[in-house]
Structure 1
């Protein structure tokens, strides 16, 4: 699903959980009519308990609350937490629960992150209801207001009614949302989603922006497993004089093997002039891209798995003011990172090279099996 470009929106960049989590909970607590929440990761713990409390409180005051979770990503959400939601009147559904009857079908996951409040306000990014998002992982979200919110509602409704979505909560009628008034900020944006190998709008949009970038192309992703076509485009852009930079996790990675597998691509990229930064303070789980004055922020990791199997969704923004905020965020994160230089990388120890080969080979096998 690809929303159309619309003006009259307001987009607010929310870096780090200490900023976007209070905004998320304030929005939930202010809800008067409807709350739609879609998450990949939700695990019982301090943050999930707080989220369940807020959702139940909203349902108790008469708000229509619908929660859509991925069947795999929510496996660590306890039965007690699920039952608390249902007892409060929250409609709870799960996308593609794991099944032994269709092993290949289990690969498709709902990796999207979305909160919509009263059909007028939305949030997306890479967040989840897991304690690690409080202070152990670095994440970024965006607050969305204006006409583009209607497309996010449509995306949620489409998956809620999908045959792959299960749960005791019944399907429902979705009234046509009332038109959302344009805002004086007049930022231009669109919602864009991907459905793996069936519909790769996010990938195609990224490739188009790389091809047309003139000044800068900065990309942050936690799982750097780029496709061959993406690597080729990054190299070509750098050789044409575009300022191409990658902001990637450092040693504080939740899956070190993925980091090593991705590092096998460093050599060619560095030789082409791509600048690579590894973030040092924490594990950086954010996914956002800046190409000139175009930005894409959301759930997509821009890796094989996200582009071939997952349901993903990003908010694209084309606005000089918003791009300025995103560029400033990149600059702060570059300053907190270690830049990898080609002269240094070519002298890396043999053990590092072995790790790259082993995990790169394993990843190659998995990619061919998908």
Structure 2
């Protein structure tokens, strides 16, 4: 689904959990009519308990609370936590629960992260209800207000009623979202989503922006295993003299093998003039892109897995003020990173080269699964 570009919106960048988590909880506490929550990861723990408490309290005061979780990403959510939500009146459904008689079907996952409040306010980013997002991971979210929120409501409704979505409650009737009045900030944006290899609108949008870039292309992703077409575009942009930079995780990584698989592309990128920064303080799980004054923030990792199998969704914003905020965030994170230089990388040890080959080969096999 590719939403229309719309004006009259307000987008607020919320870097780090210390900013977006309080904003999320405040929005839930202030909900009056509806709450829609869609997450990939939700695991029992301190953060999940806080989320469940807030959702149950909202349901208790008469708010319609719908929670859509991925069937795999929520496997560590305890039965007691699920039951507590249901007993409080929260309607709980799961996308594509695992089945053992059709293993290929299990590859399709709902990787979106979305909270919609009263069908007037939305949040998206890379967050989840997992304690690591508070304790050890760097994340970014965006607060969304204005006409574009209606497209996020439609996106949630489509998946809630989709054939692969299961739960004790039947799908509900969804009226057409009511139009939302334009705001004075008048920021331009659109919702954009992808559904694996069948519909790669997010990927195509990024490629189009790279092709029309005039000065800079900065990309942050936690799982850098880019497609050949994306690598080719990054290299071409760097050779044309544009400021091309990648903000990637350092040694603090939840899946080190993915990091090694992506590092096998460093050599060619560095030789072409792409600047690569590895974030040092924590594991950077954020996914955001800046091309000139266009930004994209959401769930998509721009790797093979996200582009071939996952359901993803991003908020695109075209606004100079918002672009300045995103650029400032990039600059702060570049300063907290180690830049990888070609003169250094070319002499990396053979053990590093072996890891790149092994995990790169494994990743190549995985990308051929459909």
- C-alpha contact 2:154 2:177 (8 A) present in aligned 1: no
Instruction: State the secondary structure of the residue aligned to 1:209.
Output: helix
Question: 1:101 offset after TM fit, Å?
Answer: 2.0
CA deviation after TM superposition for structure 1 residue 361, in Å: 1.1
Q: How does 1:182-221 map to 2 (within 5 A)?
A: 182-221=182-221
Question: Equivalent residue for 2:120?
Answer: 120
CA offsets, 1:312-344, max 9 Å, x none? 000000000000000000000000000000000
Partner of 1:318: 318
| RMSD over equivalenced CA pairs, Å | 0.6
SS in 2 for 1:143: strand
2:311 paired with 1:304? no
Structure 2 CA distance, aligned partners of 1:153 and 1:368?
33
Does the Cα contact within 8 Å between 1:188 and 1:319 map onto a contact in 2?
A: yes
Aligned-pair distance for 1:155?
A: 0.1
What's the CA shift for 1:176? 2.1
2:1 counterpart of 1:7: no
The answer to whether the 8 A contact 1:225-1:304 is kept is yes
Structure 1 regions of 5+ residues with no counterpart?
A: none
Map of 1:153 onto structure 2: 153
Q: 1:368 Cα deviation (Å)?
A: 1.9
Whether 1:347 aligns to 2:311 is no
Contact 1:17 1:135 in 2 (8 A): no
1:88 corresponds in structure 2 to: 88
Q: Deviations over 1:145-164 (max 9, x none)?
A: 00000000000000000010
* Partners of 1:245 and 1:275 within 8 A in 2: yes
TM-score (norm 1): 0.99
Query: Which residue number in structure 1 is paired with residue 164 of structure 2?
Result: 164
- Give the Å deviation of 1:220: 0.1
Structure 2 unaligned spans of 5+: none
Name the counterpart of 1:46: 46
The alpha carbon displacement at 1:10 in A equals 0.2
What TM-score does the superposition give when structure 2 sets the normalisation length?
0.99
Structure-2 residue corresponding to 1:180: 180
Contact 2:40 2:74 in 1 (8 A): yes
CA distance in 1, matches of 2:175, 2:232: 45
Distance in 2 between the 1:183 and 1:29 partners? Answer: 23
Structure 1 residue 135 displacement after superposition: 2.6
Q: Number of residue pairs matched?
A: 370
What does residue 234 of structure 2 align with?
Answer: 234
Aligned counterparts of 1:129 and 1:51: Cα–Cα separation in 2: 7
